[in-house]
Amino acid sequence: MNMVLARNWWAVALRGVFAILLGLIAFATPGVFLASLVLVFGAYALVDGVFAIVAGLRAAQRHERWWPLALEGVVDIIAGIVVFLLPGAALIAFLYLVSAWSIVTGLFRIAAAVRLRKQIEGEWLLIVNGALSVLFGVVIALFPAVGLITVVWVIGAYAILFGIILMALGFRLRGHGARARAAAPRGR
């Protein structure tokens, strides 16, 4: 799986860019963001799910461990579809959906990082990303009434941090791929 991720480093980094954009929108227009929070999250979950499934399919083509990425993608897509089907649901229900999504995908990221620990350096970035995702989900589940604007800011900060970590991982994977290609024996 590490070479698939290294070859597709740009997809990991692009996921980070989308996360950072989501965070910046949350901080720039919290009222508007709150009004459209359900739809923004649904769109992000769908896009993130597609990229995760693509990464999983590419890993499967190489006969590498693919299911954690594909399963994360399926969970993301299901979350996105549920959000679009129930746009009028209470924000508290939405917060619990975000909490569950964050915990499940965080656990999958940690599992993927543990699997990669002997293959690449910097897997700790994915572990930190997964742990922050789980922590965020637990906090939202335990304290749903902390204030909706505060939650918007927490989502914005989380998305920016998540994006920075994914971009760092993407560029680290790019360097790993370049080193692996340079070290590969050249045949005629």
Per domain, the residue ranges of the chain are 2-180
What is the SS3 assignment for 67? helix
CA–CA dist 42, 173 (Å, integer): 28
**Structure tokens belonging to residue 180:** 């692996």
The answer to whether the CB of 121 falls within 8 A of the CB of 176 is yes
CA–CA dist 122, 30 (Å, integer): 34
Q: How confident is the model at residue 83 (pLDDT cuts 50, 70, 90)?
A: confident
Residue type, 168: A
What secondary structure letter does DSSP report for 151?
Answer: H
Tens digits of residue pLDDT in 97-129? 778 988 999 999 999 888 887 787 778 888 999
What is the SS3 assignment for 121? coil
- What is the reported pTM? 0.49
